[in-house]
Chains A and B, each alone.
Chain A
Amino acid sequence: MKQLHAEFDVLRRRFPPGFEPSLVLPCLRRIQEERGYVADADIDELVAYLGVPRIQVEEVLSYYTQFRRQPVGRWHLQACRNVACSMRGAEGVIEQIGERLGIAPGETTPDRRFTFSTVECLGSCGTAPVVMVNETYHENMTPERLEALIERLER
């Protein structure tokens, strides 16, 4: 991801001196935005660029739910399963996605178009139930709106 180094240089200058380790999270996010996931070679490069221990990057990648070291489908459907969403139909959402796409949470469709995950509270309880598709919240889900959403994504 050498083409990102210029961007990282700019980012680095926004932090105070000595804050190089802090760049691990934003750089990984940026790399993942470009590639769709973080590859082993990306880790090597980032470690060399920042001068942080490799283990730090590996730990961070394994700890945070939003980082992944494997690609996901074109559309990552993340359905909240926490309390307010569950009380407003999240279990129905999860069931409907599963039936509609033929995959269980944690799986990807064979054509690699959809990955399906259940996630914890997204901070959108007032518009529950909520499904996050890639970076976007889709709130106030209903069976109809969910079907319409999936159809749109399929096209």
Chain B
Amino acid sequence: MNSVATGRKLLMTFPVTALSHTLEEYCARGGYATLEKVVREMRPEQVTKEVAASGILGHGGAAFPAGRKWGVIKLNDEQPHYLCANADEGEPGTFKDRWILENAPHLLIESMLIAAFALQVRHAFVYIRGEFDLPYRRLAGAVEEAYAAGLLGSGVASSAFSCDIVVYRGAGSYVCGEASGLLTSLEGRKGYPRNRPPRLTVRGLYQRPTVVNNVETLANITGIVRDGAEAFRKVGTAKSPGTQLISISGHVARPGVYEVEYGYPFAKFIHEDCGGVLGGKKLKCVIPGGISTKVLTAAEIEPLTLDHASLVAAGSGLGSGGMVVVAEGTCMVRLLQVLVRFYHHESCGQCTPCREGMGWLHKIVDRIVAGEGELDDIERLIAISEANDGTTICGMGDAAGYATIGILAKYRDEFEHWIVHGRSKHDGRLEAIGAEWTVSEVALDG
């Protein structure tokens, strides 16, 4: 929990205590009043219209307008529709949905019920990564509370609207965070992503129209419907209305989850609100939005604001808001090594360019680190990345390519150094400088 002044708050609007996640406390904060209003007074199309008017973009990384996604669902088409909250949160550097699951599970539930009402969904799911144990228990507990209070199940809040929520646990696979991989996993199979067409909103879970939204995106729905699209648009920027939960980690003094109003100055956020670089060191670069976004140097972030347009214009992206701070003296070759090892481990193996390409990237970087690199290995890394750009079933291939090309574009010299001299320019350092291990200054979670 943080109370820094990083703009207006829409989600972190209450103090986190030992009980703030319970139904009682949530209702005391006005919880479920919006749901009551929706099921008694509104029509599904009205809800969708309000969400579309808000302009809210998806918070899972793709920043696709949520209202536009919802708009594809045809009402009254005599077939089941499904809603799924994406709580897989596997993007390295990202841990903000976890905050919502642990501290505001009822906000998610209420928002899902409002969304289910809008989309004529009778069965909704939360797909939560298998490793999240406390978040799962908090969410499952909240779901049971909601059922007991008549807020879930048959006749939600004593209305004609019925909806069940099933919390579905994953079992360890990054690509299950990709919407189509998620649904395939939810069908009890390997989390293999799917080709489009068809879009999931046309044929998704068991080939039925399905909306998959990130947890944070959904969490915003209650506020949008309660206060209206206009009020929502007053927060943030014109193109990125609202706020973003930023997860910040790495060589930063105060890592954690911060709610930031879109448009907030990037450099200020890091150097002031998050305490700057650990140990007072200089900032080298930042991975702004999860490891699949291109790295930005300390100089490059100076003029930027935390919103999608600003980062895209700078050749990167805000993505899922998973920010990793890198201090001067960190070896970018070793950093890329960690990333390509990750992508190699997580490739589902379906399509040729990713399945073969990820292993190849990993082997080349390993070989460079082992002192056996050649200068044209750098071109090869770029070529493999290019071969994965727009050729794969899902975005993971492209993501690995962006991460690789992004680091090579700005830190090519480090790779050349290691290849030519057989060792790192920065002693192969990844850890925070000057400390063997360091403990962050943030308070430990209860």
Please report A residues at the B interface, Cβ cutoff 8 Å.
14-16, 18-26, 28-29, 52, 56, 59-60, 63-67, 81-84, 86-89, 91-93, 119-129, 132, 135-137, 139-143
Interface string of B81-111 (1 = CB under 8 A from A): 0000000011111110110000000000000
Tell me whether A89 and B438 are in contact in the complex, defined as CB-CB below 8 angstroms, given that A19-B206, A63-B191 are known contacts: yes
10 shortest A-B CB distances, which residue pairs? A65-B172, A89-B437, A64-B171, A125-B249, A24-B188, A21-B188, A121-B92, A66-B172, A84-B249, A126-B255
Bound Cα distance from A68 to B185, whole angstroms: 17
- Chain B binding surface SS class: loop
* Chain A neighbourhood of B169, CB < 8 A: 25-26, 29
B291 close to chain A: CB less than 8 A: yes
Given A82-B342, A83-B291; A125-B93 close (CB under 8 Å): yes
Q: Which residues of B contact A124 (CB under 8 A)?
A: 95, 98
Cross-chain contact B172 with A123 (CB below 8 angstroms): no
- Cα-based distance from A83 to B172 in the complex (angstroms): 18
A21-B187 in contact given A123-B98, A126-B257 (Cβ < 8 Å): yes
Interface presence of B33 (CB below 8 A):
no
**Is the pair A127, B342 in contact by a Cβ cutoff of 8 Å?**
no
Tell me if B330 counts as interface (CB < 8 A to partner A). yes
Can you report 8 residue pairs joining A to B where beta carbons are below 8 Å apart?
A: A14-B166, A15-B123, A63-B348, A83-B250, A84-B324, A87-B324, A142-B439, A143-B436
Please tell me which stretch of B40-48, B131-139, B374-382 contacts chain A, meaning at least 4 of its Cβ atoms lie within 8 angstroms of it. B131-139
Q: Across the interface, which residues of B come within 8 angstroms of A143, CB to CB? A: 436-437
Q: With both chains docked as a complex, state the minimum distance between the C-beta of A65 and any C-beta of chain B, in angstroms.
A: 3
Once the chains bind, are B440 and A126 in contact (CB under 8 Å)? Answer: yes
Asked if B157 is at the interface of the complex by the 8 Å CB criterion, the answer is no
Do residues B189 and A137 form an inter-chain contact, with CB atoms below 8 A? no
Beta-carbon nearest neighbor of A67 in chain B = B171
Q: Does B386 contact A (CB under 8 A)?
A: no
Which of A60, A65, A87 touches B189 (beta carbons < 8 Å)? A60
A60 with B257: CB separation less than 8 A: no
- Chain A CB within 8 A of B130 CB: yes
B179 interface residue, CB < 8 Å from A?
no
Instruction: Report the separation of the CA atoms of residues A63 and B348 in the bound assembly, to the nearest whole angstrom.
Output: 8
Chain B residues with CB under 8 A of A29: 130, 169, 171
CA distance A143 to B438 in the complex (A): 10
Out of A25, A84, A127, which one reaches B445, CB within 8 Å? Answer: A127
- Contact among B171, B251, B335 with A65 in the assembled complex (CB-CB below 8 Å): B171
Are B133 and A65 in contact, CB atoms less than 8 angstroms apart?
no
Query: Which residues between 238 and 295 of chain B lie within 8 Å of chain A, taking CB atoms?
Result: 247-251, 255-257, 287, 291
A136 vs B248: C-alpha distance in the bound complex, in angstroms?
22
Residues of B near A84 (CB, < 8 A) are: 92-93, 249-250, 255, 324
- Residues of chain B lying within 8 A (CB to CB) of residue A119: 131, 172
Closest to B339 in A: A83
B188 close to A123 (CB less than 8 A): no
The residue among B123, B188, B249, B445 with the most chain A CB atoms within 10 A of its own CB is B188
Contact call A83/B92, Cβ cutoff below 8 A: yes
Query: Closest Cβ of chain B: how far from A141's Cβ, in Å?
Result: 7
Residues of B within 8 A of A52 (CB): 188
A26 & B432 in contact (Cβ 8 Å cutoff): no
Contacts of B190 in A (CB 8 A): 59-60, 63-64
Task: Please give, as numbers and ranges, the residues of chain B lying within 8 Å of A121 by CB-CB distance.
Answer: 90-93, 174, 342
> Are A91 and B430 CB-contacts (below 8 A) given A123-B129, A127-B255, A136-B133?
yes
Docked pose: A123 CA to B430 CA in angstroms: 19
The 8 Å CB contact of B133, one of A26, A83, A92, A135, is A135
Cross-interface CB contact of B324 among A26, A81, A83, cutoff 8 Å: A83
Q: A65-B171, A82-B342 are in contact. List 15 more A-B contacts (CB 8 A).
A: A15-B123, A18-B206, A22-B188, A25-B169, A59-B189, A64-B173, A66-B130, A83-B291, A87-B249, A87-B335, A121-B342, A125-B249, A127-B255, A128-B255, A141-B437
**For B437, what are the chain A residues with a Cβ–Cβ distance below 8 Å?**
88-89, 92-93, 129, 141-143
- In the bound complex, residues from chain B placing their C-beta under 8 Å from that of A126 are 95, 247-249, 255-257, 440, 442
Residue of A nearest to B349 (CB): A63
Residue of A nearest to B252 (CB): A126
Q: How far is the CA of A81 from the CA of B345 in the complex (A)?
A: 12
Given contacts A83-B335, A87-B251, contact A127 B440 (CB under 8 A): yes
Give CA–CA (A50, B248) in the complex, Å. 43
Please give, as numbers and ranges, the residues of chain B lying within 8 Å of A14 by CB-CB distance.
164, 166
